Amino acid sequence: MPDQSVPQARTPESPAPEATSGNGAGLSRRALLGTAGATGLVLGAAGGAVGYAAAPAPATPLSSVGSDRAMFHGKHQPGITEGLQARGHLAAFDLVAGAGRKEATALLRRWSTTAERLMAGEAAPHDDTDVARDAGPSSLTITFGFGHSFFGRTGLEQQRPSALDPLPDFSSDHLDKARSDGDLWVQIGANDALVAFHALRAIQKDAGGAARLRWQMNGFNRTPGATAHPMTARNLMGQLDGTRNPRPADPDFDRRIFVPSSGEPAWMANGSYAVVRRIRMLLDDWEKLSVPAQEAVIGRRKSDGAPLSGGDETTPMDLEKADAKGEYVVPLNAHARITRPDRNGGAAMLRRPFSYHDGFDTDGTPDAGLLFVCWQADPLRGFVPVQRKLDRGDALSQYIRHEASGLFAVPGGAATGEYVGQRLLEG
């Protein structure tokens, strides 16, 4: 679980972009809009299936959080390799009865126009609510994907990728179908809560009479600049979470995370597949464990994320090291041992999750955990083999529960003048 996180466009050694001022009167909205750059590295959080972990995000002064801007147009959609944002919303929509390819095309056009404007820090194109007035872009990203059912609803069954076949059942699943799957998926992230909510509301309003909200979930992460120095984030279990994650600099990064330009189907070129899981952490049970017991479950020290075999956070884990009694110092069922790519046929995924807290049950039990989102070129070679391995003996499994699930095909980025999914809907 805490052995994966996400990379970003800017490395810790790269300086954060400086916001410009307008007419010497401080930061103007127009000046903020001209400031580009993504904040921080994306940090993973605890969850079921895991890939590599990530490097820490550069600390960003809170006064500059609003000026950071991600770009809507590009080779890939935003919200995949950018830094993990402080606030997130995940939502799924179903096309209404009678709506088909024509209505879906018009909807994706509207959504793309809205996303481009909001990510630039501008007002929504129609009936803006002013919720984000006075704020900069705040690293807002909006990402769109298609569920398995979308293709039947639009008469595009022949274009449905085989990689979008339903995920297998897992023993840790306690899935609520009402909060799973969907025709269309939207991921929203920003470093300001009002900016993120503003985007969510605009996207929902744009759906109009074409689509109805199926489910929606809210998440959060540490705000850039909240720590005195760059460091890996902690999840709701208190573990450092994000020590190993594929990085764009890795020679095989694109091959593992994105569909190649020559891939099939052609409309998925430079796209990726997102597995979305709502994973509840059984925190009352977890917090009854001693720190050494928690560390044995994970396979890493709670204080600094170092492997139990020694070293610091980034030291390679020695799986063969034994103690004086001849027992492995990293237990055989430790989460970090089981999720290693070299123990799963090289399976890797880019995790970009959000934590969540949805209040308390009637008995006071917290409804909290992880909105797990992972990216891969093929879920059958990324998420599925790792989750199957976890299903067979992960020590962490008794402290988490998978309560919702979805798999979505996320096409490549829209070129200037295009809308997301155009190559599918008009191809």
Given the residues 3, 241, 391, 394, select the one marked as catalytic.
241
**Rounded Cα distance, 173 and 190, in Å:** 30
Residue 409: both structure tokens together? 């095909």
**Rounded Cα distance, 100 and 46, in Å:** 38
Could you confirm whether 241 is annotated as catalytic?
yes
**Rounded Cα distance, 351 and 337, in Å:** 17
Buried-exposed string 308-321: b where 16+ CB fall within 10 A, e elsewhere: bbeeebeeebebee
Residue 6, SS3 per DSSP: strand
Contact (Cβ atoms closer than 8 angstroms) between residue 268 and residue 412:
yes
The H or E element containing residue 106 is helix 101-119
DSSP states of 240-272: B--S----TTSTTHHHHHS--TT-SSGGGTT-E
Contact (Cβ atoms closer than 8 angstroms) between residue 3 and residue 45:
no
**Rounded Cα distance, 131 and 196, in Å:** 10
**Rounded Cα distance, 19 and 72, in Å:** 19
Residue 213: both structure tokens together? 């909200």
Residue 258: both structure tokens together? 């994105």
**Rounded Cα distance, 118 and 238, in Å:** 34
Active site residues: 241
